[in-house]
Amino acid sequence: MASAPLSPTIRGFFSNMWDFSRDCPKCGASVETLVHALKNRQTARTILTLIGLDGRLLNKDYPYCIDWIKDVICFLDKKVVADFITTLSYSWNNRNNYVFRGKEEEAQVIWDRAKTLCQDFRIHNLINKPVLPITPTLKKWEKPLCRTMKINFDVTVFNNKTCFGVIVCDSNGFVLGGGGDFKEEYMMVEWAELYAFEEGLKIARSLNIANAIFETNCAIKWANRSCNKVVDFMCKYAIINNCNLVFGMDYPREIHDFVIGDSIN
């Protein structure tokens, strides 16, 4: 939220001791609010532009920082919001370094550091049990309508390895086919998701599927990870075992329990 105005007594105290000023130390704007420091200051604005923040969220005037963050949460995907909050913390530290040390990093450097930290957290959460137990959800994989197939897909990117998993099920939950591909190369998660989507389209075409719903926990039709358990497991299994998977109705026994759990839902 915006900084509360200082009382005359406190302002005088700080002014006498440290030549205190509430003007922006970088651009000289009067009364540096939190919104100004994190959004309107030139370096902060460049950082937000680098992360691809929507023009409306970047250009709209907000009297309070909390209003800005509320709009960000409403308009952006959850993963993007996590990156956004991390980037704000780096941007704020960068501002403080300028104020107290006279040193300020370039916007690209700040964004690269924030992006690396976000990726490290995702990898850590992928391969380790969470420190705090995750509250279980009741959401489950939902069967599609009659004569409609559901194609679930997911990707995993870890240690310069990329793997995707795809599985096709009918309205009864029976597996019609699927597969997974393992690559010894690093791909941006967004491109990996598009690659998995493309492979899902190929499988749908090979099975002559006329009506299909594509579902993932990233894009297209978003689904909670608990609704995407089969392909999530396939990705992790393939990347740990360095293997590729291609199958029809006789799917691998490793995913049997997940498939049955979805079909009897």
pLDDT in tens, 190-210: 777 888 888 888 888 888 888
User: What does the pLDDT read at residue 3?
Assistant: 45
Beta strands in 84-187 (DSSP E): 149-158, 161-169, 175-183
User: What does the pLDDT read at residue 135?
Assistant: 60
Question: Across the strands, what pairs with 213?
Answer: 150
User: What does the pLDDT read at residue 120?
Assistant: 83
User: What does the pLDDT read at residue 22?
Assistant: 66
Q: The domain at 149-263 falls in which architecture?
A: 2-Layer Sandwich (3.30)
Q: How many CA atoms lie within 13 A of 105 on its CB side?
A: 16
pTM: 0.42
Do the beta carbons of residue 155 and residue 235 sit within 8 Å? yes
Helix (H) or strand (E) holding 245, with range, is strand 245-247
Enter the tokens of residue 122: 């995702």
Round to the nearest angstrom and report the end-to-end CA distance of the chain.
45
- Looking at residue 139, the DSSP 8-state letter turns out to be -
Give pLDDT < 50 ranges for the chain. Answer: 1-4, 6-20, 219-223, 225
Query: Domain-by-domain residue ranges, the chain?
Result: 8-127, 149-263
User: What does the pLDDT read at residue 109?
Assistant: 92
User: What does the pLDDT read at residue 137?
Assistant: 53
